[in-house]
Structure 1
Amino acid sequence: MSLNVQLRGVWRCGGRIPHLTALGPISFVFRQCSSASKNPNIINQKLLLLVESCLDKMQEKLNIGNWKEVPISDRQIITLLSYHRVWIYVALNNTVDENILAKNVLEIIDRGLLFGAPLTPPHDNLLHKCAKIVSSTKTKQKFDKNFKFSSLNTASQCDTAIEYGTVLISENCPSIQTFSEKYMKHKTPVVLKNCIDHWPALTLWDDPSYLIEKIGNRIVPVELGSKYTDSNWTQKLMSVSDFIDNYILDEPSIVGYLAQHQLFQQIPELVPDFCIPDYCCLHEDDTSDNTVDVNAWFGPANTVSPLHTDPKHNLLAQIFGEKLIILLAPEETQYLYCHSGNLLQNTSQVDPIKPDYESHPEFSKAKMYFHILKSSEILYIPPKWWHYVSSRTPSFSVSFWWN
């Protein structure tokens, strides 16, 4: 069965979505796509350009106003348009080299996953199903360097500091009850050891060839700049292979960081390599949302997350590499010179590694804790605890946020 027929079959097996296909002028585009899916003879470049122009228009709508205020229906339209763009593009380029075709199609899919939203069942995994089909047809990428990320001993700026404060306490894989009563209940940070030694990710993700073979062609958002509070900080979409080559294995002048990204929701092929820690099943009350937000943090040495707070419980699991973590309790906020304005009010202006006591004299009164987080360790960061994170080496971490 041809790739194009497989992709068109993903949609046909599920039927229609009335509330999307009946949306004003765009319904014309969906009707054209529906007709073309049944009659391949009418697929042409004009139809592809029509779908792409609609995607551009929807993309413009996303860039106006606050992302959180974008109607879910607008993002679902992007998902459906991306799907139609995929199979039409494949139909018009079936003589193109298989690997080049797969790379281009996966980029279309990933943009749809990044900016779109899941449809209603049975279409909720529409683009994921397409990605799986396309990935199975391409030749696996090869990586000719035989080493691990953890062998890259890049010098880190954070090593210039001598004193960070009090060393955090550690506990060897506490029971759920012990963790709840001793740490979570009292909102006390702790380093958890020997809890994730069984994760395949600890060895698999340390191997560049594994990640490049598994997800090398996938498109992800990469932060460019030393930290998000800098004026020249920006983001760029690029393939995982390009990110690894240009920002992990190379030594560019600009730091690149795959930070706070729901990578495993976008690319579920990596999910079997780890699991959500059992501690995340604990909730403060029966009304709490049971959702666990899982984010990837992958980058070279010297990535920095400035001193900031988050509203949820956080388990930060270190896959490979080392990170310096500095923490301060919520009651230290009075000494931390928070940024003004809604966007950065949860972020301090103080650099705890090199504090400027002339500009921030009160910071000298703040009590700090620290830990060098190493592979297979988990750090529990309670809600509203201030934390500063800097990688000492190339590093991959996974965070689990929950209420």
Structure 2
Amino acid sequence: MKLDLQNIPRKRNLSKEDFLKEYFIPKKPVVIEDLTENWPAYKNWNFEYFREKAGDVVVPLYDGKPAKGRQNSHGVAKKLPFSEYIDILQKGPTDLRMFFFNLLQNCPDLVKDFEYPDLGVKFFKKLPVLFVGGEGAKVVMHYDMDLANNFHFNFGGSKKVILYPPGQTGLLYKVPYSIVSMEIIDMDNPDFEKYPALARAKGFETRLQHGDALYIPSHWWHFIKYETPSLSLTLRSLPGSPKAIAEVLNNLLFVRNFDNLMRKLRGQKWIDYKNRLAIKRTHKNAGLD
């Protein structure tokens, strides 16, 4: 049994008007293959270039281990100079990842290597962020807390991406008081006996190569597996509707803080309780209880 996934469409020479009409407004994902071909990043962005330009910058790294007990979620595993991290990436598989690294704040010279594409979208230009991962590294299935529309540009390697629209949330074992699926579930090789609702969820997949740009609509779930070491730039367009803004504020001010408070108070019991509730609610939604 496999996940029910269809290929994300791939386009070249996509006009601004067609992007808005066919993908952005109806909130459908698309890979644009030629959006970066005139960027300096298309020619230059590889690990040796980053070693030269930003090798001394100390970067926070995250591993694939779920938070346990009273640990806050998404804690930093270690901090290293970028050049030392690149050495680790080039030695072989590793689960260490750079996550949401603000280029404008930390490596402003690299901002000149890309441009904000003319797609009829208003970008939040204070937050161009870099994601880096080693062979085999995986990002748990989640959607973004700020509900941004993401434009994800891949360089220097390849990665697999699985997406699900918001309408499939009830089948994805969403953990209460969070924006993630159960971290124990490996979306690259799910156990359908334990998590049968996943077989009913309908999603999308693609493999991103050097220079590919993936549009991930607001509120869409995404899982990522680095098939080789790669660098990715994400440019973000924030939601503007009152309903979305209210949900973002609730996520940032209540959900995240409440969850971390309960982790401190109850530790592993809180995490285990949420996972049990995720299974119960998902199986009820799927008619499996």
The two structures have a TM-score, normalised by structure 2, of: 0.73
2:103 is aligned with 1:263 = yes
SS where residue 255 of structure 1 aligns? coil
Indicate which of 130, 140, 143 corresponds to 1:296.
130
Q: Which runs of 5+ in 1 are unaligned?
A: 1-160, 284-288
Partner of 2:244: none
State the partner residue of 1:305: 139
Indicate if the aligned counterparts of 2:61 and 2:98 stay in contact, CA closer than 8 A.
yes
1:295 positional shift: 0.8
Q: Which residue among 16, 19, 42 is the counterpart of 1:202? A: 42
How far apart, in 2, do the equivalents of 1:347 and 1:295 lie?
20
Look up the match of 2:89: 248
> Relative CO higher for 1 or 2, CA cutoff 8 Å, sep ≥ 6?
2
Residue equivalent to 1:314: 150
Distance 1:244 1:274 in 2: 21
CA RMSD for the aligned pairs?
A: 2.2
Shift of 1:357: 2.2
CA distance in 2, matches of 1:267, 1:380: 24
Q: Count the aligned residue pairs.
A: 229
1:237 to 64, 75, 79: 79
Name structure 2 gaps, 5 residues minimum.
Answer: 239-289
- The answer for the alignment partner of 2:64 in structure 1 is 226
**Greater strand percent: which structure?**
2
| 2:191 maps to 1:356 | yes
Structure 1 partner of 2:264: none
Cα deviation for residue 183 of structure 1 reads 0.6
Amino acid at match of 2:10: S
> Residue in 2 aligned with 1:392?
227
**Residues 274 and 291 (structure 1), Cα distance of their counterparts in 2 relative to 1, 3 Å cut:** closer
The structure that has the greater radius of gyration is: 1
Aligned counterparts of 1:338 and 1:384: Cα–Cα separation in 2: 13
TM-score, L = length of structure 1: 0.53
Provide the C-alpha distance between the structure 1 equivalents of 2:4 and 2:84, rounded to a whole number of angstroms: 35
Question: How far does residue 291 in structure 1 lie from its aligned partner after superposition?
Answer: 4.5
Aligned to 2:30: 190
Over the matched positions of the two proteins, sequence identity in percent amounts to 28
CA distance in 2, matches of 1:371, 1:230: 28
Tell me how far 1:338 sits from its aligned partner.
0.9
How does 1:2-401 map onto structure 2 within 5 Å? 165-208=5-48, 210-223=49-62, 225-226=63-64, 229-231=66-68, 234-245=76-87, 247-251=88-92, 255-279=95-119, 281-283=120-122, 290-291=124-125, 293-310=127-144, 311-341=147-177, 345-349=178-182, 350-401=185-236
- Encode CA deviations 1:350-396: one digit per residue, 9 max, x unaligned: 43222222332222110121000111110000011111011100101
| Mapped partners of 1:175, 1:293: distance in 2 | 25
